Amino acid sequence: MRPLLQIEDFHVAYGKVEAVRGVGLTMQPGQIVTVIGPNGAGKTTLLAAAAGLLHSRGKVIYDGVDLERLDVEERVERGFCLVPERRELFGDMAVADNLLLGAYTRRRNGSDVKQSLQQVYARFPRLAERRRQKAQTLSGGERQMLALGRALMARPRLLLLDEPSLGLAPLIVREIFRIVASLRDLGVSVLLVEQNARAALETADYGYVLEMGEITHEGPATMLAHDARVVTTYLGGSD
């Protein structure tokens, strides 16, 4: 099968400092792949650069197409969407409008968009209840749901999720990971960056460990979860 995403010899630098150094990563369609690693390892940078928000060197091949010449908007149009760490909602706008903006690149078919909106509401009933509320009045968990829902409105084939569980209560964390896992059934692939390594490895099919800008470990998620070094550094004792 042709990989959905193939990143090769990928470098990202801030001025003279290289934050991501020669990273290679492959994803099959329908897979959930996670990147774990310490703070400052370059995980957020990797996602942002892959989405086209930062300048990078190296190859990003998505669905057989080299993305080098495509800007962020064109990547989104092809179903390549980033959900950033800070969620970046439009706080002054209603929940429904935030969602509709997610479908901005599909503006041509109106009824289609309405159908997607209903699907998102079905997936996140909380958002349906709050559709007229301003996004800034939402709680942390609802904000993350809105960020996810907005990304789904673009009909993505690949979602890049940056720390979806950040700042969320345990119950909601579990809910978010359940939703991420359920994206597989939609045929959406997920590249997941998480500090909550345990939950990330439980959800993902395959994992990479990024340290100091380089991939130091990789393997099927269940194997990584039992790797001695990963356990001591990222998972710790019983949780």
Partner 1 sequence: MTARAGSVFVIVAIAALGAAPFWAAPFTITLLNYIGIYALVALGVVLLTGVGGLTSFGQAAFVGIGAYATAWLTTAQGVSPWLGLVFALILTGIVAAFLGAITLRLGGHFLPLGTIAWGLSIYFLFGNMESLGRNNGITGVPPISFGSISLEPTYAIYYLIWGLLVIATIVMANLLDSREGRAIRSLRGGVVMVESLGISVFRVRLIIFVIAALLAGLSGWLYAHMSRYVSPAPFDLRMGIQYLFMAILGGSGYILGAVVGAALLTLLQNALQDVLPHFSSNGEQLEVIVFAIIYVLALQFARGGMMPLVLRYLPRQAEPPIAAAEPLPRRAMPQGGAPLLVVERLLKRFGGLEAVSQVGFEVKAGEIVGLIGPNGAGKSTVFNLITGALKSDDGKIFFLGQDITRAGQRRVAQAGIARTFQHVKLRASMSLLDNVLLGTYLRTRAGFVKGAMRLDRNEEARARSEALSQLKRVGLGDKPHDQAGNLPLGRQRILEVARALAADPALIILDEPAAGLSRPEKIALAELLRGLRKEGVTVFLVEHDVEFVMGLVDRIVVMDFGCKLLEGTPAIVRADPRVQEAYLGSVV
Q: Which of 4, 23, 35, 37 binds partner 1 (CB under 8 A)?
A: 37
Q: Which of 78, 99, 79, 81 is nearest to 90 (CA)?
A: 99
Of the candidate spans 56-64, 88-96, 113-121, 231-239, the one that interacts with partner 1 by CB under 8 A turns out to be 231-239
CB of 59 to partner 1, least distance (A): 25
- Please report whether residue 142 would count as binding partner 1 according to CB under 8 A: yes
Three-state SS letters, 26-76? EECCCCEEEEECCCCCCHHHHHHHHCCCCCCEEEEEECCEEHHHCCHHHHH
- Do 23 and 10 touch, CB atoms closer than 8 A? yes
Taking CB under 8 A as the criterion, the residue among 76, 113, 153, 197 binding partner 1 is 197
Two tokens at 33?
């792949």
CB 42 within 8 A of CB 56: no
Residues 204 and 34: beta-carbon distance below 8 Å = yes
Q: Long-range contacts made by residues 167-171, C-beta under 8 angstroms, separation at least 24?
A: 167/140, 168/140, 168/141, 168/144, 169/140, 169/141
Q: Provide the mask over 40-59, with x wherever binding to partner 1 is found by CB under 8 A and - wherever it is not.
A: x---x---------------
Residues 102 and 153: beta-carbon distance below 8 Å: yes
Smallest gap from Cβ 104 to partner 1, in A, equals: 24
Site for partner 1 in 105-134 (CB under 8 A): none
Only segment of 5-13, 69-77, 110-118, 163-171 that touches partner 1 (CB under 8 A)? 163-171
- Shortest distance (Å) from residue 216 CB to partner 1: 14
The correct pick among 14, 112, 118, 216 for binding partner 1 (CB under 8 A) is: 14
Stretch that binds partner 1, among 2-10, 46-54, 113-121, 170-178 (CB under 8 A): 170-178
Q: Is residue 176 a contact partner of residue 200, using CB atoms and an 8 Å limit?
A: no
> C-beta of 140: minimal distance to partner 1 in Å?
4
Q: Which of 38, 72, 94, 184 binds partner 1 (CB under 8 A)?
A: 38
